[in-house]
A and B are shown apart, each in its own frame.
Chain A
C-alpha cells in the first residue's frame, strides 16, 4: 500500500456486561480519505468511535490513529483528532463565540489565538450573525455546525464524525455534506458513522458495513454493490398474460435466473453491460408484442447490500421509495 494509514483498528473487542458491543472489529483508512462505518443502531459504531477517540478502552485488540496508539499515546493523540458527536456537545448557555473560545483554550491555544480561531470558524460555518447569541436559541442545524466547528479548532488531521447528520432535515444534511466534502478536499482524514446508505455512498471512499460488532463487508460503494450482483433490468408488463412472452424474449440477455412476480406483473433480469442492451431489449419486446408499463435499468443500492449481507429487512417499506428525494431511510434497528 503506497499511502499511509491514518486510522487502523485490529480486532477491537468491547463488552458491556453480557452485551457484546464489538466482536473483533477491523478498520483502516488511508490519509486524506473518507471511511464510512455503516450499520444499524446498536451495531457498535459509536463504541468504535469512542475507542478511536480515546474515550473508551477496548477489552482486546489495538488501534492507531495518526500513527499514535489510542491507549499508550492517548494524551498525545488528543492533540491530533477532532470529534463531533450525535448530539451537539456544546454549552447551551454560552454563545457560539464563547463556546469556541472555551474549547480553543482547552486545546491549549493562547487566548488571542483561541479568539481569532473562533472568529474564523464562525465565519466559515455561517454563524457570524449568531455568534453573540446563546446556543439555546440556535436551530438544530446551527448547533450541529457549531459542534463541528468546535471539533476543527486545531485543524486536526483526523476527524471523527459520529452520525453527523442524524436528526437534520434535508437542507441541513446537504449543507453538512458540503462541509465534510470541503474538509476532505483540504486533506483531512474523516471517519464517519452513519445509518444512512445515501450518506456513505455520497461521501465515502471506503465503506465498512458493520453489524453486531464486526465488519461484515468492506470496499468502495461500487465494490459493495458488485457483491450483491450486478445490474438488472426491471420491467412491469401491462397484462399478466404477457409475463411468459416477456420472459421468453429476455432470456438471451439474462446473466442469471429471471425472477418473475406474477402479482405485480414484475420481472427482474440480471444483466451485464445493461445500458448497451436496453435498445435491443425494447425492440425484442416490441416484436414479441409485449406492452410495457415500466422499464428500468437498476444498479443495486447500499440498501440492497445491507439486506443481502445481513438478511434483515430495512424499515423502508413504510416510506415511499422516491428515487428523487434523498434515500435517507434508517435501517432496521438491530435487536441485541
Chain B
C-alpha cells in the first residue's frame, strides 16, 4: 500500500459550478457513455438484439409472406416498416432491464449519494439505448435491402421515417424504465417488459394488413399506437405519406413521453427510498 495522502492532489477537488440544466445534460451523457462503452464488452447482448429481428425478417419474408396479400406493393416492402417499429420497441426493453440490474447491484445507491442530477440515471440509459437502437435499425435496413426491400420516394421521407422510429424508441424506453423501476428483480423486468409488447406489435398493421382481422380486433389494431407508427413509417418509405397518420403517431410518442418521463422519475425517487 503506498502512502499517498488522499488529500494530496495536484488539483482542487471542488466541484465545478455550472447551471442545473448543464449538469442535467452533462451527467446524463457521462452515464450514456458508460453504457455505450459496455456494448462491445458484452457483445452477446447486441448480437441477440440484432439476430431476433433478422429472424423475424426471414420468417415473414420467406415463410408467412407468400400467404399474406398486400395491395399496391411487394410484401417485403410492406413488411420492413413493421420490422423497424418492432425492432425499436422490443429493443427499448433493455432500458428497464439495465435499470433493474443497476438497482439490484447497488449502483443506484451510489449514484444517489453523489451530487449529480437525479434524472441522469434514467436519461443516460434512454439516450444510450437510443444510440444502440439506431445501430440496430441500420443493420435491419441493410438486411431488408438484401432480401428485396426497395424504399421509394425522396431521401428526405426516409429520414423522416427514421426520425419517427427514433422518437418511438425513446418513448418506449421511458415506459420500459418505469417498468424496470416498479418491479423487484431483473428477471421480472425482463418478462414484464416484454409480455405486453406482443399483443401490441402483433395485433397491429406491422406484419399483416388489418383488413383481414375480425371487426373487434380490427377496431383495436387500427387505433393503437404501434399501428399508427407503422403506418406513418410505411407511408414515408413507400412514397405515400399521410399527414394525419404521421401527426397521430407523433402525438402518441409525445403523449407517452409526457406521461412516462415524470412517472419514471417519480418511481426512481420512490423505489430507491427503501
Q: Which residues in B have their C-beta under 8 angstroms from that of A107?
A: 13, 15, 114-116
Using A53-B113, A89-B107, A106-B114 as known contacts, say yes or no to A186 and B5 having CB atoms under 8 A apart: yes
Number of A-B contacts (CB under 8 A): 125
Q: Is A81 an interface residue (CB 8 A)?
A: yes
Number of interface residues, chain A, beta carbon within 8 A:
55
Mark interface residues in B4-18 (1 if CB within 8 Å of A CB, else 0).
111101111101101
Chain B residues with CB under 8 A of A105: 26-27, 30
Whether A155 sits at the interface, judged by CB under 8 Å, is yes
Beta-carbon contacts under 8 Å, B31-82 to A = 31, 33-34, 37-38, 41-42
Tell whether, in the assembled complex, residue B113 and residue A78 are in contact, meaning their CB atoms are under 8 Å apart: yes
For B109, list chain A residues within 8 Å (CB): 50, 55, 83, 85, 89
In the complex where A54-B112, A78-B114 touch, is A120 in contact with B9 (Cβ < 8 A)? yes
- Nearest-CB residue, chain A, relative to B112: A55
Q: Shortest distance in angstroms between A244's beta carbon and chain B's nearest beta carbon?
A: 56
Q: Is B244 an interface residue (CB 8 A)?
A: no
Given contacts A83-B109, A106-B27, A113 and B12 within 8 Å (CB-CB): yes
A103→B42 CA distance, assembly (Å): 21
Interface residues on B, range: 35 or more
The reply to whether B13 and A175 contact each other, CB–CB distance below 8 Å, is no
Is B21 interfacial (CB 8 A cutoff)? no
A65 to chain B, nearest CB (A): 11
- Decide yes or no whether A260 CB sits under 8 A from chain B: no
| Most chain A C-beta atoms within 10 Å of own C-beta, residue among B3, B33, B274 | B274
Q: 5 tightest A-B contacts by CB?
A: A108-B15, A78-B115, A89-B106, A89-B110, A93-B38
27 A-B residue pairs with Cβ-Cβ distance under 8 Å, sorted by A, are A53-B113, A54-B113, A55-B272, A55-B273, A78-B113, A85-B109, A94-B34, A98-B37, A102-B30, A102-B31, A102-B33, A103-B114, A108-B16, A108-B23, A113-B11, A116-B10, A116-B11, A123-B2, A123-B4, A126-B1, A126-B2, A154-B13, A155-B13, A183-B6, A186-B6, A186-B7, A187-B7
List 12 other contacts, CB 8 Å, given A98-B37, A108-B23, A123-B2.
A55-B112, A79-B15, A87-B106, A91-B107, A102-B33, A105-B26, A107-B115, A108-B18, A108-B116, A116-B10, A116-B11, A188-B6
